[in-house]
């Protein structure tokens, strides 16, 4: 009896692994199709504002839509997306919401103090509350797909580290047409800027994958993404550069963001060794 139970468990594990691999094939295929549809008008116009911003919305929701469809078709449930709540959610959501605020306030005011940049105008608290929600809506599209659906499945198929390594490369490729062919890649130093972006994406993908695993939820990842886009990009990034050296430092293709995100990725990489506590 014990022998037969072991065979059944092995067969079940093999079937689960096969289902996960098929799910990933469907997910990445759908993501590529949706992203291609969005990139067509974006690349033609050279701007992320193509079609009044609708193309960008579709682009950001490409992985999210793919994740929703794949979860429904392959697993007959939306639970694999990690949209439910649990006792760990508040801690991780607050942490991920505040981290981008922290590193943004380290980078840009410091540059302003040294006269390298001139910051934009101040905004009221109500501005952040009002703008945060639409920013969260667009960020949720990416995170539902990459971290909500794909990260756990790739972790089961390849293991956490190899799964996140693969996913972060795919996430970078997802951004590559925008970086090379549109106004999104604003760095005048193309090779250096894209190298810094790759480092940032690699580190962030590891950290967000770890946060997804430890929190059992996609919401902390979505909060991090929304907070970064709102604070780092929309509030501080539209600024005046007062020095030519600033072009090497600022923005998502700058050295400083890579330097602050790299420790997050390294910490998450080694923390993933520790046993997960229930």
What's the domain range around 164? 84-271
pLDDT per residue, tens digit, the chain (278 aa), is: 444 444 444 445 567 889 999 999 999 999 999 999 999 999 999 999 999 999 999 999 999 999 999 999 999 999 999 998 889 999 999 999 999 999 998 898 888 888 888 876 666 667 777 889 999 999 999 999 999 999 999 999 998 888 888 998 999 999 999 999 998 877 889 999 999 999 999 999 999 999 999 999 999 999 999 999 998 988 876 666 767 788 899 889 999 999 999 999 999 989 886 655 54
Establish if 216 belongs to a structural domain.
yes
Query: What interhelical angle do 89-113 and 255-271 show, nearest 10?
Result: 150
Q: Spell out the residues 6+ positions from residue 43 whose beta carbon is closer than 8 angstroms to its own.
A: 177, 181, 182
What is the predicted pLDDT for the residue at 276? 56
**Exposed/middle/buried for 43, CB within 10 Å: 0-12, 13-18, 19+?**
middle
Cα 129 to Cα 7, 47, 224: the distances in Å are 55, 27, 15
Q: Average pLDDT over the chain, rounded to whole?
A: 88
Establish if 131 belongs to a structural domain.
yes
Establish if 222 belongs to a structural domain.
yes
Establish if 118 belongs to a structural domain.
yes
Give the distance from CA 44 to its chain's centroid.
25
Query: CA 208, CA 224: separation in Å to the nearest integer?
Result: 8
Domain total of the chain: 1
Establish if 155 belongs to a structural domain.
yes
Establish if 228 belongs to a structural domain.
yes
What is the predicted pLDDT for the residue at 141? 95
Establish if 214 belongs to a structural domain.
yes
At 243, list the tokens: 């020095």
Establish if 31 belongs to a structural domain.
no
Greatest Cα pair distance, the chain, in angstroms, is 76
């Amino acid at each position: 009896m014990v022998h037969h139970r072991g065979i059944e468990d092995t067969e079940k594990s093999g079937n689960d692994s096969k289902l996960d691999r098929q799910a990933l094939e469907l997910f990445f295929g759908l993501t590529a199709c949706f992203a291609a549809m969005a990139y067509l008008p974006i690349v033609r116009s050279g701007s992320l504002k193509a079609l009044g911003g609708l193309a960008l919305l579709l682009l950001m929701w490409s992985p999210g839509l793919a994740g929703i469809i794949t979860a429904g078709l392959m697993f007959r449930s939306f639970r694999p997306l990690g949209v439910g709540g649990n006792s760990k959610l508040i801690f991780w959501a607050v942490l991920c919401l505040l981290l981008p605020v922290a590193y943004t306030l380290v980078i840009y005011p410091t540059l302003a103090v040294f006269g390298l940049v001139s910051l934009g105008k101040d905004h009221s608290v109500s501005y952040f509350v009002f703008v945060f929600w639409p920013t969260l809506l667009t960020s949720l599209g990416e995170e539902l797909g990459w971290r909500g659906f794909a990260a756990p499945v790739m972790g089961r198929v390849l293991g956490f580290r190899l799964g996140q390594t693969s996913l972060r490369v795919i996430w970078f490729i997802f951004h590559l047409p925008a970086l090379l062919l549109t106004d999104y890649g604003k760095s005048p130093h193309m090779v250096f800027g894209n190298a810094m972006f790759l480092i940032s994406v690699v580190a962030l993908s590891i950290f967000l994958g770890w946060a997804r695993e430890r929190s059992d939820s996609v919401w902390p990842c979505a909060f991090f993404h929304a907070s970064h886009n709102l604070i780092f990009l929309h509030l501080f990034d539209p600024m005046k550069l007062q020095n030519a050296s600033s072009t090497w430092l600022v923005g998502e293709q700058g050295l400083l963001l890579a330097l602050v995100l790299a420790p997050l990725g390294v910490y998450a990489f080694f923390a993933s060794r520790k046993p997960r506590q229930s």
